[in-house]
């Protein structure tokens, strides 16, 4: 059966019977003619989108491995034949794995791949003389390799403003795609009572095990809300799941870990103040991939500007039940004065917490989302963890927005715990 492909012509939307690739006028070309340096389409659109925007390393570590580039929604190999140190430096910087890089020896032979031509940005050129797959190592100026790039994702999904949605479901958000928010982790109960298992179907039982959210900091540390452990402080009662999307189905992308240690902020007493904790899982910990990535920490001078919109994500309550698939919502930071004056209970909010959501209700984080991320996007596209979902009076109710623990005031403590200190 012939495949039909839509092509975007200048004046109208047309269809093509092309098997591999199509020009804007519907004429067919081979995939290998795309970005080969020769114009094959009358309009030249086969050479019009050859910018190398995303690279990745495979079959190695976070900072060394074989080099691939994202082209036409597919990861393609980069050739070592015409790669030099200047290009490697630019590529390492693009991946935020350090300012410098070096070419490594390789014995992997390939017959087709891409070269890169780098100026202010790198352009792709399909190679006609490719013999070896590029293998590189990245490092920073001090000679040390960063732990990983943070706050980036392979799956680009724009968080929608939930206030514009007709359906008020976090509550009032939308169902995400796998890998869309790869720093979002789940904290689950290991043990559920026998009566619960008997009363619920397998799917309902699996969802019932969800307890709280968390965010990935590095391979062995995650951050969450301290109050998630008020009823049971035993590490043996919980497990950490990263790379998940659907709570009821296993697709092979999940990584499950025992909880090794819970680090509470030293001044934490209850949900109203310092509601933050760092979780430790056993080494070597998380294997980073397109479904599991660390989120960046904010700078110490991060400003919680009212009106700034950021993303909350989690599997928390949607009213009558926990979400089966990861939900997310784009919500704004609320002015502290407006928040405190919206309800008497918010006078208990500490100075290291903030309000976010909509005073008119309809969109909010909810039970089970606690500990999850409030992630804001930087100008460079990376997400930073501005807040940790903490508490609220109800879910998505009028004049009852969610309360979030600020992350910026706790950076010294976070870095001390993550780096093995005893602060």
DSSP states along 290-350: TTB-PPBPPPTT----TT-EEEEEE--B-SSSB-SB-EEEEEEEEPHHHHHTT-GGGGG--
Coil vs helix vs strand at 229: helix
Better pLDDT: 221 or 195: 221
Instruction: Measure the CA–CA gap between 372 and 186, rounded to whole angstroms.
Output: 8
Percentage of the chain surpassing pLDDT 70? Answer: 78
Q: What is the pLDDT of residue 388?
A: 96
> Residues 59, 186: one domain?
no
pLDDT at 365 over 50: no
> Residues 127, 72: one domain?
yes
Residue 132 belongs to some domain of the structure: yes
Q: What is the pLDDT of residue 165?
A: 34
pLDDT (average), residues 339-349: 81
CA 100 distance to own-chain centroid? 25
Q: What is the pLDDT of residue 113?
A: 87
Omega prior to 284 cis, within 30 of 0: yes
Coil vs helix vs strand at 19: coil
> Residues 58, 27: one domain?
no
Count CA atoms within 13 Å of residue 332 on its CB side: 15
Confidence class for position 375, pLDDT limits 50, 70, 90 = very high
Which residues are catalytic, by number?
227, 275, 370
pLDDT in tens, 250-297: 888 999 999 999 999 999 988 889 999 999 999 889 998 889 999 999
Instruction: Measure the CA–CA gap between 159 and 171, rounded to whole angstroms.
Output: 14
Burial class from Cβ neighbours inside 10 Å (0-12, 13-18, 19+) for residue 75 reads middle
Residue 7 belongs to some domain of the structure: no
CA 51 distance to own-chain centroid? 23
> Residues 90, 186: one domain?
no
Better pLDDT: 99 or 368: 99
Better pLDDT: 259 or 401: 259
Confidence class for position 304, pLDDT limits 50, 70, 90 = very high
Residue 11 belongs to some domain of the structure: no
Better pLDDT: 102 or 94: 102
Better pLDDT: 63 or 379: 379
> Residues 415, 288: one domain?
yes
pLDDT at 157 over 90: no
pLDDT at 168 over 80: no
Give the position of tokens 């903490």: 390
Q: What is the pLDDT of residue 275?
A: 95
CATH number of the domain to which 31 belongs: 4.10.400.10
Neighbours of 72 (CB within 10 A): 10
Q: What is the pLDDT of residue 202?
A: 45
pLDDT at 416 over 80: yes
pLDDT (average), residues 37-43: 87
Better pLDDT: 209 or 306: 306
Residue 121 belongs to some domain of the structure: yes
pLDDT (average), residues 312-330: 76
Residue 129 belongs to some domain of the structure: yes
Residue 267 belongs to some domain of the structure: yes
Q: What is the pLDDT of residue 96?
A: 67
Structure tokens at 108: 């992997």
pLDDT (average), residues 134-146: 68
Instruction: Measure the CA–CA gap between 218 and 392, rounded to whole angstroms.
Output: 28
When the pLDDT of each residue in the chain is averaged and rounded to a whole number, the result is 79
Instruction: Measure the CA–CA gap between 222 and 385, rounded to whole angstroms.
Output: 11
Q: What is the pLDDT of residue 277?
A: 97
Q: Report yes or no: 67 and 57 within 8 Å, Cβ to Cβ.
A: yes
> Residues 186, 285: one domain?
yes
> Residues 91, 22: one domain?
no
Structure tokens at 319: 């009213």
Better pLDDT: 296 or 159: 296
Q: What is the pLDDT of residue 192?
A: 57
Could you list the residue range(s) of the whole structural domain that residue 216 is in? Answer: 182-198+206-292+411-419
Task: Of 168, 204, 167, 225, give the one whose Cα is nearest residue 385.
Answer: 225
Better pLDDT: 29 or 359: 29
Instruction: Measure the CA–CA gap between 149 and 158, rounded to whole angstroms.
Output: 20
pLDDT (average), residues 121-128: 85
> Residues 39, 78: one domain?
no
Residue 127 belongs to some domain of the structure: yes
Q: What is the pLDDT of residue 137?
A: 87
> Residues 93, 193: one domain?
no
Q: What is the pLDDT of residue 289?
A: 87
> Residues 210, 228: one domain?
yes
Q: Which of 152-161, 217-226, 284-293 has the lowest mean pLDDT?
A: 152-161
pLDDT at 403 over 80: yes
pLDDT at 22 over 90: no
Instruction: Measure the CA–CA gap between 114 and 98, rounded to whole angstroms.
Output: 23
Neighbours of 91 (CB within 10 A): 24
CA 255 distance to own-chain centroid? 15
> Residues 86, 230: one domain?
no
CATH number of the domain to which 255 belongs: 2.40.10.10
Count CA atoms within 13 Å of residue 348 on its CB side: 14
Instruction: Measure the CA–CA gap between 216 and 242, rounded to whole angstroms.
Output: 8
Q: pTM for the whole thing? A: 0.61
CATH number of the domain to which 76 belongs: 3.10.250.10
> Residues 33, 65: one domain?
no
The total domain count for the chain is 3
Task: Of 119, 409, 55, 95, give the one whose Cα is nearest residue 265.
Answer: 409
pLDDT (average), residues 150-177: 58
């Amino acid at each position: 059966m012939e495949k039909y492909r839509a092509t975007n012509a200048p004046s109208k939307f047309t269809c093509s019977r092309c098997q591999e690739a199509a020009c804007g006028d519907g004429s067919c070309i081979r995939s290998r003619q795309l970005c080969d340096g020769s114009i094959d389409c009358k309009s030249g659109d086969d050479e019009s989108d050859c910018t190398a925007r995303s690279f990745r390393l495979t079959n190695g570590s976070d900072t060394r491995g074989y080099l691939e580039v994202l082209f036409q929604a597919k990861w393609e190999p980069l050739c070592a034949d015409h790669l030099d140190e200047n290009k490697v430096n630019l590529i390492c910087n693009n991946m935020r794995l350090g300012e410098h890089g070096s070419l490594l020896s390789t014995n992997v032979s390939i017959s087709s791949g891409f070269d890169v031509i780098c100026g202010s940005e790198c352009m792709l050129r399909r190679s006609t003389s490719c013999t070896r797959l590029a293998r590189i190592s990245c490092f920073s100026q001090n000679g040390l390799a960063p732990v990983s790039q943070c706050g980036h994702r392979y799956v680009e999904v724009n968080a929608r403003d939930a206030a514009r949605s007709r359906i008020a479901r976090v509550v009032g958000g939308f169902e995400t795609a796998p890998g869309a928010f790869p720093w979002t982790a789940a904290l689950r109960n290991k043990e559920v009572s026998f009566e619960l298992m008997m009363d619920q179907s397998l799917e309902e039982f699996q969802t019932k095990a969800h307890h709280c959210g968390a965010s990935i900091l590095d391979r062995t540390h995650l951050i969450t809300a301290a109050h998630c452990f008020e009823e049971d402080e035993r590490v043996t009662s919980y497990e950490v799941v990263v790379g998940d999307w659907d709570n009821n189905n296993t697709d092979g992308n999940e990584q499950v870990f025992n909880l090794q240690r819970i680090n509470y902020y030293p001044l934490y007493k209850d949900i109203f103040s310092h509601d933050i904790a760092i979780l430790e899982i056993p080494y070597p910990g998380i294997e980073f991939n397109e479904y599991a990535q660390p989120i960046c920490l904010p700078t110490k001078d991060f400003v919680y500007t009212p009106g700034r919109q950021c993303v909350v994500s989690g599997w928390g309550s949607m009213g009558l039940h926990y979400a089966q698939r990861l939900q997310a919502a784009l919500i704004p930071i609320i002015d502290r004065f407006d928040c405190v004056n919206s309800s008497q209970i918010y006078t208990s909010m500490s100075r290291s917490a903030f309000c976010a959501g909509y005073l008119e209700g309809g969109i909010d984080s909810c039970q089970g989302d606690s500990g999850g991320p409030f992630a804001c996007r930087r100008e460079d596209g990376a997400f930073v963890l501005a807040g940790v979902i903490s508490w609220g009076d109800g879910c998505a109710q009028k004049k009852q927005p969610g309360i979030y623990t600020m992350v910026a005031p706790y950076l010294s403590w976070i870095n001390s715990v993550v780096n093995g200190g005893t602060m």
